[in-house]
Amino acid sequence: MRDNGWNMKKYDIALFDLDGTLSESGEGILDCVRMVFMETQRPLPSEDVVRSFIGPPMYDSLIGCGFEHEDALKAVEIYKRNYIESGIYKNKLYDGIIDVLQSLKAEGVRLGVASSKYQKFTDRIINMLGIGEFFDRVGGSTLVSGKPVDGCKPRLSKLDVINYVIDDLRTGDDDRIVMIGDTGFDAKGASNAGIGFIGCLFGYGTREDMEEHYTIGTPTFAEKPKDIIPMIIG
């Protein structure tokens, strides 16, 4: 870590989304979304609607497609079953992500994962990808029913997950914190948390959607993973 007598870092804490930010996961997610519609005998929406399932909580996406509450809960379980059986294995790291994590860690940036994916899936994927050593806290959502997991406060929204991770990583009130994600959903979570935001254009969302949902400032954008490094450590 550099020591020039003053802090060179732009941010002390960096939170990463998982899907579309750390890992290319779209194939596995979309396959399992299609299985949900097939098993529930519902017409498959357009490809654009199916792709919109990447990022938000599965329950919210299902409600947006016309599922009633109870049916959405059952469909979430169908998705989880298919995902754990097959979809989870279709994750792979984006090229250059390891270099990003190594560089930030070497500069003393405290790293976390803040994903809307279920906590158990998030933990498993991070370990499967071999990047667990870089993160001081890995956060995912809890059960959609709102029941506590391992005695923790329920985490249902992106803001809930962000705050959960921040609370563990923060060492002072003046910590500078940034969320790194690829969708308007991530941008909105960062905005609601009052933290910085870096949008990943190599992921699944659009610049326009992220700009629209980050309402407390101007986000910066990374065309490639390596672009993230100078945005955080200067």
User: How many distinct structural domains can be found in the chain?
Assistant: 2
CATH label of the domain that carries residue 62: 1.10.150.240
Give me the sign of the Cα torsion angle 166, 170, 173, 177. Answer: negative
pLDDT truncated to tens, each residue of the chain (234 aa)? 334 434 567 999 999 999 999 999 989 999 999 999 999 999 999 999 999 998 788 899 999 999 999 999 999 999 999 999 998 999 999 999 999 999 999 999 999 999 998 898 999 999 999 999 999 999 998 865 545 555 667 888 899 999 999 999 999 888 899 999 999 999 999 999 999 999 999 999 999 999 999 999 999 999 999 999 999 998
Spatial CA neighbour of 20 closest among 12, 28, 32: 28
Do 84 and 109 fall within a single domain?
no
Do 70 and 114 fall within a single domain?
no
Residue 10 exposed, middle or buried by CB count within 10 Å (0-12, 13-18, 19+): middle
- In-domain check, residue 203: yes
> Given 60, 75, 90, which residue is the final one in a domain?
90
Do 177 and 62 fall within a single domain?
no
- Output the pTM of the full model: 0.85
Helix (H, G, I), strand (E, B) or coil at 178: strand
Which residues span the domain enclosing 34? 26-90
> Given 48, 70, 90, which residue is the final one in a domain?
90
